[in-house]
Structure 1
């Protein structure tokens, strides 16, 4: 089965001129990142089909000769870099014609619906306008709208390549109670700088350790009732993060499942964890200080207990040392490193003799 990426032209492969007609060679500008992204997708097995509306092409207002030069140069550049198209579909009608071949109509692509070799669940459409999104809906494939000043959108080419080629394990969780409003986003297959805001500086720093040393993209933003105390913010952040991890892992096929010991100056922390689906925390360690920064130390174990409950995680966590700051930070770092090992995906086997995790 072959996945197909249907691709708009102007505003998607190349920048769209202010007058909406790419009719001169000096107007030809490629969208940033498009060629490396297409090469990644080609290597992932995708074939490309261009689908473009060219209003009135072939009329005196838009002569065919004016179109052919820039278009042929664009195709030559793409071909020279290893990017070829299975087919180029061009509709030349005007909007007022209401032609079924004009996007968002799928008249030009109907023959693909009869092709049993097309991998439709993996196929997608990339464009810069709502009409491209509607074309995707009409065809029954996923839509990606590029971010442009004219039409909005939220995607760029590297992100599209990641989403389609890597099949990333992602999740977005919103947890809203009378005490907290939390939004968590994770991508277990992408490395990125963590984005954390909870209103608690030291807690933010600890959550950053989970994303940074866990080796995955983590965004967590919490508005909590800090005028009461820190408990709800810490607890609910752990619950939301655990839920996001559980959802992103899905069926858990291919994961490492287990892992880590980590020193931090005089402190030593050990984390043995298992994404078994059976939540349990065994914590050994203590703290002399009541707080580290603005975070009560009594909430350290409570954070990991809440994380275990919502992630379906079995965690044995031990820490010893003299400096409480080092001990707390070592706890978060060692759990992050254990997570990095456990969520790493290799193959598609389920690491369980039970047949279920």
Structure 2
């Protein structure tokens, strides 16, 4: 199993930086952030991350920053952390000045190349934690995510706008260095995924935020299908963006089936860590239609489909493709789905199924931030 990493800055993240020089070169400047030891200790004990410290120390070893003013203080910091059970696998220190432009200095990755293209590490689900925009840039350069601290103090509004692309999808910005928030976030995880699925028949872009508010932007070229996918976002409280370009000049089959596969693959990525998750869900009637959807994100795919339709199409969507969509989702998301529906109005029946599906997902992906419990007697999902 690949290992996730926390690349953690030292000054301004674990310990206060001391103005006006922001250089920690004497013991009277050393103060640790409140609750850092408590929650860093929990991260080290409870969460499965490798800890790596990455710090820029401008001119260390030169006359303006002699080594004998750095190492006694740094060693005290490390011993204090170890006294609380917080062990860093590696401590990487760059000594260059900003104007030198060396690739070893954050956001350069010169000191971190051994973590790249290495099957031991899950860089996509690793994080850089730091208080400067260079830490966010480092995360981007490494191909991982960022937790950015001290937002208000780090940049003004104009500078934030300039860095909008960096902050767009893989950065969590916290307005203070509150280690309880960092711990809670890491424990719950960033269940946000951007996923592409491209074939000769379809090109699909999916963005999913499992802990969203129900926002959606759906475009598949099939209006009724868009309407049904919108139900998943709205009633599941999931932020969902789907852009499908399919071979509709042939028929609807590939567009619908491949969208189900792409959405299921995105869910599988977003729900990779199921600790604290409910796992199961169920729901729901709509008017005269009685729909039941049971779901289990247990890692195994299976579909039970007890729904029939008397019309060949609803809107532009062939009713035979409803089964194929849910089968594709079940296979790709590795979940059990049991779907039943009875009723008279065909539109109501399928809409009830999609709404029930959304509500079932909402129940199943709900998490308890206090729990580290994996919902399985096997101990693995």
Give the TM-score range, shorter chain.
Answer: 0.5 to 0.7
Give the corresponding residue for 1:293. 315
Which of the numbers 165, 170, 182 marks the counterpart of 1:153? 165
Shift, 1:98, TM fit: 6.6
CA offsets 1:67-89 (integer angstroms, 9 cap, x no match): xxxxxxxxxxxxxxxxxxxxxxx
Aligned with 2:278 (options 236, 256, 279):
256
2:281 and 2:206 map into 1 onto residues whose CA distance is 24
- Using the TM superposition, name which of 168-177 and 235-244 deviates more: 168-177
Q: Per the alignment, do residues 230 and 52 of structure 1 end up closer, same or farther by CA in structure 2, a change over 3 Å counting? A: farther
Structure 2 vs 1, CA of residues 324 and 7 (structure 1 numbering), >3 Å: closer, same or farther?
A: farther
Task: Specify the alignment match of 1:13 in structure 2.
Answer: none
Alignment map for 1:125-140 (pairs within 5 Å): 125=130, 127-128=132-133, 133-134=137-138
**Are residues 105 and 210 of structure 1, via their aligned partners in 2, closer, same or farther at CA, if it must alter by over 3 Å?**
closer
SS at match of 1:259: strand
**Residues 250 and 135 (structure 1), Cα distance of their counterparts in 2 relative to 1, 3 Å cut:** closer
Report SS of the residue matched to 2:299. coil
1:187 alignment partner in structure 2: 209
Structure 1 residue 281 corresponds to structure 2 residue 285: no
Gapped regions of structure 1 (runs ≥ 5): 9-40, 54-92, 107-120
Please report how far the alpha carbon of residue 169 of structure 1 lies from its aligned counterpart in structure 2 after TM superposition.
1.7
Aligned Cα root-mean-square deviation (Å): 4.2
Counterparts in 2 of 1:6 and 1:288: CA distance versus 1, 3 Å: farther
Q: What does residue range 86-97 of structure 1 map to in structure 2 within 5 Å?
A: 95=99
- 1:33-76 alpha-carbon deviations (Å, 9 max, x no partner): xxxxxxxx99x958xxxx999xxxxxxxxxxxxxxxxxxxxxxx
Matches of 1:168 and 1:314 in 2, distance apart?
A: 24
Residue matched to 1:309:
331
Q: Deviations over 1:284-328 (max 9, x none)?
A: 121121111111111111111111111111111000111100001
**Kept in 2: contact 1:125–1:133 (CA 8 A):** no
> 1:240 is matched with which residue?
262
Aligned to 1:323: 345
Name the CA shift for 1:295/1:351 in 2 (closer, same or farther; >3 Å). same
Paired residue for 2:72?
none
Where in structure 2 are there 5+ consecutive unaligned residues? 1-5, 13-34, 41-55, 59-96, 110-125, 149-154, 175-180
Aligned length in residues? 270
Given that 1:124 and 1:141 are in contact with CA atoms closer than 8 Å, whether structure 2 keeps it comes out as no
How far, CA to CA, are the matches of 1:309 and 1:175 in structure 2?
Answer: 15
Task: Tell me how far apart the structure 2 counterparts of residues 133 and 343 of structure 1 sit (CA, whole Å).
Answer: 31
Go from structure 1 to structure 2 and tell me whether the alpha carbon gap of 1:350 and 1:265 turns closer, same or farther (over 3 Å shift): same
TM-score (normalizing by structure 1): 0.63
Equivalent in the alignment of 2:91: none
Q: Deviations over 1:119-173 (max 9, x none)?
A: xx765235457x97259979x9955798745455341799624895353222222
CA distance in 1, matches of 2:256, 2:331: 14
- In structure 2, the CA distance between the partners of 1:100 and 1:322, relative to structure 1 (3 Å rule), is closer
